[in-house]
Amino acid sequence: MATSVERSPESGEDAYSTIRGELKQYSFQTEPVPRLHHLDPRVEALMRAEKPVVITDTNLVKSAFHWDADYLSSNIGSAKQTVYSSYKNKFLYYDDKKLPQFPDLQLATKHEEMTFKEFTEKVKNHKKGDKIYYLQQALNDSVGKSLVLDFIKFNWSWATEQQKKYKWGALTSNLLLVGMDGVITPAHYDEQQNFFAQIGGFKRFLLFDPSMFECLYPYPVYHPHDRQSQVDFDNPDHERFPNFRNLYGQEAIVGPGDVLYLPIYWWHQVESVPNHGMTVSVNFWYKSGTEEKIVYPLKPQQKVAMMRNIEKMVTSAINNHEEVPHLLKTMVLGRYT
List residues near a second copy by CB under 8 A: 213-214, 217-220, 230, 240-243, 296-298, 303, 306-307, 310-311, 313-314, 317-320, 323-325, 327-337
Question: Binding partner of residue 45 among Zn ion, a second copy, none, CB under 5 to 8 Å per kind?
Answer: none
Enumerate residues 6+ apart whose C-beta is below 8 A from 277: 1, 2, 3, 181, 200, 201
Question: Binding partner of residue 335 among Zn ion, a second copy, none, CB under 5 to 8 Å per kind?
Answer: a second copy
Q: Which is nearer to a second copy, 62 or 303 (CB)?
A: 303
Strands 53-56 and 35-37: parallel
Let me know: does 153 contact 61? Beta carbons within 8 Å. Answer: no
Q: Which of 50, 24, 66, 105 is nearest to 261 (CA)?
A: 50
Residue 191 is a binding residue for Zn ion (CB under 5 A): no
CA 43 – CA 158 distance, rounded (Å): 13
Q: Which is nearer to Zn ion, 133 or 266 (CB)?
A: 266
Going by the DSSP 8-state scheme, the letter that residue 229 receives in this structure is B
User: Burial letters for 89-125: b for 16+ Cβ neighbours within 10 Å, e otherwise?
Assistant: bbbbbbeeebeeeeeeeeeebeebebbbebbbebbee
| Nearest distance in Å: CB 232, a second copy | 13
| Nearest distance in Å: CB 325, a second copy | 4
Q: Which is nearer to a second copy, 290 or 337 (CB)?
A: 337
Residue 44 is a binding residue for Zn ion (CB under 5 A): no
Is residue 65 classed as helix, strand or coil in its secondary structure? coil
Residue 190 is a binding residue for Zn ion (CB under 5 A): yes
C-alpha Rg value of the chain to the nearest Å: 20
Q: How far is CA 95 from CA 99, 101, 113, 177, 321, in A?
A: 7, 11, 16, 17, 15
Q: How far is CA 215 from CA 20, 43, 166, 243, 252, in A?
A: 25, 28, 29, 5, 20
Q: Which of 32, 28, 36, 34 is nearest to 19 (CA)?
A: 32
Question: Binding partner of residue 108 among a second copy, Zn ion, none, CB under 5 to 8 Å per kind?
Answer: none
Residues binding Zn ion: number (CB under 5 A): 1
| Nearest distance in Å: CB 34, Zn ion | 20
Question: Binding partner of residue 105 among a second copy, Zn ion, none, CB under 5 to 8 Å per kind?
Answer: none
Question: Binding partner of residue 190 among Zn ion, a second copy, none, CB under 5 to 8 Å per kind?
Answer: Zn ion
Q: Which is nearer to a second copy, 51 or 303 (CB)?
A: 303
| Nearest distance in Å: CB 213, a second copy | 6
Let me know: does 224 contact 98? Beta carbons within 8 Å. Answer: yes
Question: Binding partner of residue 265 among Zn ion, a second copy, none, CB under 5 to 8 Å per kind?
Answer: none
| Nearest distance in Å: CB 301, a second copy | 13
| Nearest distance in Å: CB 125, Zn ion | 29
Q: Which residues bind Zn ion (CB under 5 A)?
A: 190
